[in-house]
Amino acid sequence: MEALASFKGDFDLDGELVVLDLEGRPSFQVLQCATSGSLPTYSYAFDVLSNKGELLVDGPLSERRAVLESLLAGAPQALRISSLLQAPAGQILQAVRQLGLEGIVGKRIDSVYEPGERSGAWIKLRANLEQEFVIGGYIPGARGFDALLVGIYEKKELVFVAKVKNGFVPRIRDDLFAALKALQTAQCKLLQVTQPPA
């Protein structure tokens, strides 16, 4: 990461660190297992939040990407810009699956930067690992629920798998909570779970 430290500029980027596997694919598992300096690590930038003290988050993504490309034109190879893929989403997702990649993030080109928000202006689609889950309950929270409790059926038994907290835009969260409340009954213990199994 010395190359990144040597690259000077007064700006804030949004991106992530990536380690590539032996086939040149980004791999979170390889990143987790990499010891310091054992594999080349790259920083992929996909957005810029400010430049020379000017906050850019309220401008459209198209303008922020133009600034990002200008800023990183002379950057070292370890600092890269994530590629924009311009094709129908289904075609991109099919190619991502064929390459064995994790998934894609799609953003509206006119969207502003919304830290910590899931407004629907961007989506994350996983291309690998698919599984059907059952919503078995929820943990109450300020916006109806703090987390959904999901499980899978194994030998006709519903087995707890995980708490799901992220990925809900406000409208979807409200609709989902209304549907859960309509299904809740005194006889259905799973829909009344307030804490997941230990």
Q: Between β-strands 79-81 and 157-164, what pairing exists: parallel, antiparallel or unpaired?
A: unpaired
Task: Dump pLDDT digits (tens) for 120-133.
Answer: 788 877 776 667 78
* pTM greater than the 0.75 cutoff: no
Q: What b/e readout covers 175-191, taking b as 16+ CB neighbours within 10 angstroms? A: ebbeebeeeeeeeeeeb
| pLDDT at site 58 | 95
Distance CA 31, CA 17 (A): 8
Domain with CATH 3.30.470.30 in the chain: 7-126
| pLDDT at site 56 | 96
Tokens 């993504």 -> residue: 61
Q: Which residues of the chain have pLDDT under 70?
A: 1-6, 32-38, 118, 128-130, 185-198
| pLDDT at site 21 | 79
What separation in angstroms does the CA of 166 have from each of 119, 154, 170, 171, 180? Answer: 12, 25, 11, 14, 17
Chain mean pLDDT for the chain: 81
Token digits of residue 189: 């213990």
**Any idea which fold 7-126 has?**
D-amino Acid Aminotransferase; Chain A, domain 1 (3.30.470)
What percent of the chain has pLDDT above 70? 83
Task: Dump pLDDT digits (tens) for 67-107.
Answer: 999 999 888 888 999 988 888 888 988 888 888 888 888 88
